[in-house]
Amino acid sequence: MNGFLLVALGGAIGSVLRHAASLAFARYLPSVETAGTLFVNVFGSAVLGFFMGWLITQDTPRSLLFIFFATGVAGGFTTFSTFSRETIHMVLNGPPLNAAAYVIVSVIGSLGAYFIALTIARRAFA
């Protein structure tokens, strides 16, 4: 299958999942506007880290799986652009410390989640 089609299919799946997560957080945590974005970025990083930890232990061709899942699904699910918009909105309309905290929690949380999940998967599938 063409790599572009795999990215498109994975991206569609990831985008639909992100939209569903955003709707769920808006419904159940309406007072925390950034909760959905924070969740998809941290959770998406963890899932991608776990996937990559598993993928590096496999002897099968990796490129199609990587294109579909990492670029497509995870790329469609996580959202740096929305994170950027929300951060700038917070800087312009609220206490700057809220924006700084959001940036720190998002970046450290996403990187940490990826690293922890990658480590777990590498040990589990070694």
pLDDT, tens digit (0-9, with 9 covering 90-100), for 44-62: 999 999 999 999 888 766 7
Q: Rounding to the nearest 10 degrees, give the CA dihedral for residues 94, 96, 101, 102.
A: 50
Contact 84, 41 (CB under 8 A): no
Say which residue the tokens 């040990």 belong to: 123
pLDDT, tens digit (0-9, with 9 covering 90-100), for 75-97: 999 999 999 999 999 999 989 99
pLDDT for the residue 45: 98
Greatest alpha-carbon span in the chain: 51
C-alpha angle 118/124/125, rounded to 5°? 90
